Amino acid sequence: MTMHSLTLISHPLCPFVQRAAIVLLEKQVAFERINVDLNAKPAWFLALSPTAKVPLLQIRQPDGEEEILFESMAICEYLDETQPGPHLYPANPVAHAKHRAWIEFGSATLGEAWGYLNAKNHASAEAKATSFKERLVQLENVLGHGPYFDGEIFGMVDAVFAPIFRYFDALETDGVPLIFADIPKVNAWRRNLQGRASVIGAVSVDYQALFLAHLRRQKAVLAEKM
């Protein structure tokens, strides 16, 4: 399937794939990316993925043997531990554990954001927007002065939240400023992540068009104003 040692099996819109892509780009590791149509999953992909989900990381060992990793954080942590470049977790065990906990918080936050973005009626959209905003307020209360989650150092928590914020960067609706109102530290963090080279490079140049087309297909409330 590849002449490269690392292959990221992907989908253009998947935020979990973006985590792994960001880590690969932060580590400046060469990799190949193969996109899969998740509406018509090929047999080779189903044979590799125990969950039938992306991302997968295909690793070609020096002896020619291949290994497959699944689940985004397993992939990210493998890359952080094995590839050159700065580590994306703090060395202190307590700080490391705290960052891992905020990553779990980030996965739940992604769920709230996704529920809001794909809501098919106004009542559901408002409820999800409220719960998502509550999580952003919690982040506002723990963030320092940035530019990243842990100050000057870009880390794994940033790689997890960047795909969440990207959704809202891609939208052109009046509701986005309201969600991000009165949380200046989150907004500054969001802007700093938006400009990070690894975050930019984690998706294709047509990401915004693909995402907006997805919302229209889902008949999401937010698509009404697009």
Closest listed residue to residue 157, CA positions, set 22, 9, 6: 22
User: Does 142 map to a domain?
Assistant: yes
Q: State whether 134 and 203 are in the same domain.
A: yes
Q: State whether 199 and 102 are in the same domain.
A: yes
Last residue of a domain, one of 82, 106, 131: 82
The model's pLDDT over 112-133, given as tens digits with 9 standing for 90+, comes to 999 999 999 999 999 999 999 9
DSSP line for the chain = --SSSEEEEE-TT-HHHHHHHHHHHHTT---EEEE--TTS--HHHHHH-TTS-S-EEEEE-TTS-EEEEESHHHHHHHHHHHSSS--SS-SSHHHHHHHHHHHHHHHHHHHHHHHHHT-SSHHHHHHHHHHHHHHHHHHHHH--S-SBTBBTB--HHHHHHHHHHHHHHH--STHHHHHTTT-HHHHHHHHHHHT-HHHHHTS-TTHHHHHHHHHHHTT-GGGGG-
Last residue of a domain, one of 49, 82, 115: 82
Task: Give the structural domain span for 180.
Answer: 93-225
Q: State whether 109 and 203 are in the same domain.
A: yes
How sure is the predictor about 1, in pLDDT bands with cuts at 50, 70 and 90? very low
Q: State whether 115 and 209 are in the same domain.
A: yes
Count of CA atoms in the C-beta half-sphere (13 A) of 57: 25
The model's pLDDT over 168-194, given as tens digits with 9 standing for 90+, comes to 999 966 667 789 999 999 999 999 999
pLDDT of residue 175: 66
User: Does 88 map to a domain?
Assistant: no
Q: State whether 111 and 60 are in the same domain.
A: no
Summarize the confidence of residues 103-116 as an average pLDDT: 97
